[in-house]
Each structure stands twice: as C-alpha cells, then as structure tokens.
Amino acid sequence: MRDMPPPERPALKLAVIGTGYVGLVSGACLAEVGHRVVCVDRATSKIESLRAGQIPIYEPGLADLVRRNVEAGRLGFTTDVAEALSGADLVMIAVGTPTRKLDGNADLQYVFAASRDIARALTHPAVIVTKSTVPAGTGREIRRLIAQENPALDFDIASNPEFLREGNALSDFMRPDRIVVGTETPRALAALRALYRPFTDRGHELIATDITSAELIKYAANTFLATKVSFINEMADLCEKVGGNIADIARGMGSDRRIGRAFLQPGPGYGGSCFPKDTLAMVHLGEKALSPATIVEAVIAVNRARPHRMVAKVVAAAGGDVRGQVIALLGLTFKPETDDVRDSVALLVAEELAARGAIVRAYDPQGMAHARELLGDAVAYAPSMDTALDGADLCVLATEWREFADRPLTDYKRALRRPLIVDFRNMFAPADMAKAGLGYVSIGRASVAAPAPAAPALEVA
C-alpha cells in the first residue's frame, strides 16, 4: 500500500515501544508517510526476525510495507530502549493489555513496565503517547510513574487510541475514519498534530480531547460495536423460532442511517484481541466507578452463550449425536485475513464437538499453527480444504475465508459423504444450496433439508 508520498516537511522521530500488532502496523505506517521510526522490543528473537524481513503476524500488505520502509531507512528495529529513544520527538507505548484473569480488568503491567523503561532511558523533552488500549485514568498513572522514576525529566503525556481491524489494518491506518488524540498541554497537541499532518492534510479528521476522554472513546466504540453483534445474533435466534429472514431484517435495519449496516451480520459471536477484553474492561471500569455497564454485561452474556448454540446447531444437523462422525471444520481464526485465533468461537466449537465424540478435521488458510498451540491433539489438522472435506459426514463453515466462498458447491457435494453444510457465517444463499442438492443450516434463516439417500437398486433374478 502506498497511499501517500513521504512529505517534504521535516519528519519527526518516533520511538515505538512494542512490536506486536498495533506497534508494528503503527510504526510501519508512520514511516510510510515520511517519519523516522524505531520500534523496540525486549524479545531478541522477534527483533532479529524483523531485521531479517520476517513478520511475526499475518496482515495483508504488512510485509511489503515493512520491507519498503526499512530499505528506505525510515524504519528500524532494536532491543535497546535508549537507542530507540535517542533524539525521539515522540515515544509511543504500544504494548499488549490482555485481560486479567483475577477480575476481568485490563492487565497494565506491560504498559507500566514500558513507562519505567522510558523514564530511565529518556534524557530530553518528549511527548509520551499511549497507543495501547487502556482504561480511563491510565495516563495519569503513567505520568505519576515517570515523574517518580525520573523527577528531572521534562515530558508530556498523551493518548492516541488505535482503531485497527485485523485484516484491514493498513487501510484503516492510512485512511482513518478519525484520529483521536487526548492531551493536556499545547506542546503535546502540537506534536501530535505534526505527527498526523500527512493525514489531516488529506482531509482526515483529527479529534482533540482530554486524555481521559480519549481513553474512553476506544472502549466506547468497541463495546458499542460488540453490542450490535450481540443484538443481531439475538434477532437471528428469534427468526429461527418465529420465522423470518435475518438477512432481510439486517438490511431493513441497516438502511436506516442512524443505525448503519456495519456489524449487523449474524454469526457465531465476536472474538479476537479487542472486543472480548474491551467489553470486560468496560464492565470492570463501571463497577469500580459505581456506574454499572449493564448493557455491556448483557452483551457479554449473549456472546458467551453463542458457542454452545453453534454446537447445538451442528449436533441437531448431525441427527442428535456426533459420536464417530467426521466433521470438516473450515476456519479457525476469529475472522478472515488474519492468523489470530484469540477467543475464536471456532476453537471453542471444535473442542466441544471433539469432547462429544466427533472426529473434527480442521483447516484454516492462516491460523493452523496458532490453533494447534491451543487445541493440541483434540482435532486433526488437514493440510488443505480438500483433505478436510474428503469423506466427511458434514461440513461446518466457521470463518468466511474467500477460499471457502469461492469453491463451487458441486465440489462440496462431491467431497462430502453426506451433502450437509452448517454455515456459521451465512456465506451462501439457501436457494443456491437447494439447487445444488446440499442440505444447509445457517443463522437466522430457513434450513434446507438434505436430500434423502438414493434407494438401493433392486436386483432382478
């Protein structure tokens, strides 16, 4: 992706702490628009791999973007924090904030560790920007920690939440709906305006707020989108009970500009690195502030029940018992165009079907290695889609990879022992499945009965 030529205006120097999904994408994209970026990580093996041109995550276009900017001298990698911070105008914290098992809150240990590293290594005035998703009030705690560690340091704190969709991250960064920056000083705001001027010059909106509001915007956005997902899934369940087509309902709702069509696709529930942890963190924040997030609590409850509903669909389609049946499970990642299997409903379904005695034969274009780390030997891993389907009793479509959608229906029918598909993503039209002679169970729509097996030919004496 090359949306913008590097600007002629003076480039800023940026240090990015963390080379995970957010840090690597942000660093590479900011280098692409002309800034000088050094990404730092404690993991020596990761930095060595990045220097060798090996990208630790799958994101379309990212490998080429990193390579191009490394070759241009705008992007570098190091394990030395002091080296990365030397001469930096801005220091961006982009480390992980996973869910704490103890209480569901965001685990900020990596953010605070990065803050202490910055305090020890930074020797000149700079703006310290939190890119990680953090609860309200984290910026104040970062400021306190750094001032405590290095009282003489002249620095500013800012918040700049990311809004990246896995599989679309480069497009989201380079063509953002909005850029949110939370600051408390004119110096910090000026630095962030300069950082994002290549984007605002092209008409992308920069929303300037206080730090706490910026921190809350990310959580508010993600919990609202998760709410839309759980709502449409409940509507799909209702359609299955009383009749109705969820595709028509979603279209009718989404055509209202106040609602919009995004995130109104019924399915197996949300997963991935953001929605599960951010909804939990929002609930924890509400509890701590004595302002319960009751709507978000309901959203989480709906989503937690979703995998069991999906398993029930498969079991019912299989005749009420999956023991000994071979199930081709197509898709393991929580969405297409990523290798991320975190909180993927497909993995939960695979595990439960295997526990019920099914022989699960799984395939995913990118997520096999990460799925194996979590599922172990509970399922069989097919080297290809064809191998997964061959002779299976039924097929479960769990992730909407284009490879699955583009495959002719005749191939499914030819490969399966019994022509039956359970589709968690509504990838196909029921009428097309009926015409192809395939039994079809989807979400919130009428099912198509599998054709009866042909009667054996009578022998004539």
Q: Which residues does the annotation mark as catalytic?
A: 274
Alpha-carbon distance values, 23 to 14, 175, 285 (Å): 11, 17, 25
φ and ψ of 326, to 5 deg = -90, 120
Scanning 333-429, the segments in alpha helix (DSSP H) are 345-355, 368-375, 385-389, 402-406, 409-415
Question: Is 328 within 8 Å of 394 (Cβ atoms)?
Answer: yes
Which residues, 6 or more positions from 178, have their beta carbon under 8 angstroms from its beta carbon? Answer: 163, 204, 205, 206, 207
Question: Is 323 within 8 Å of 356 (Cβ atoms)?
Answer: yes
SS (H, E, C) 18-70: CCCHHHHHHHHHHHHCCCEEEEECCCHHHHHHHHCCCCCCCCCCHHHHHHHHH
CA 103 distance to own-chain centroid:
22
Structure tokens at 242: 């009383």
> What is d(CA 307, CA 19) in angstroms, rounded to the nearest whole number?
32
Q: Which residues of 191-226 are buried (b: 16+ CB within 10 A; e: fewer)?
A: bbebbbbbbeeeeeebeeeebbebbbbbbebbbebb
Closest to 262 measured CA to CA, from 253, 271, 275:
253
Structure tokens at 196: 């994002």
> What is d(CA 390, CA 315) in angstroms, rounded to the nearest whole number?
20
Structure tokens at 7: 């600007």
Beta strand pairing call for 394-397 and 420-423: parallel
Residue identified by tokens 């969709």 is 165
Question: Is 328 within 8 Å of 413 (Cβ atoms)?
Answer: no
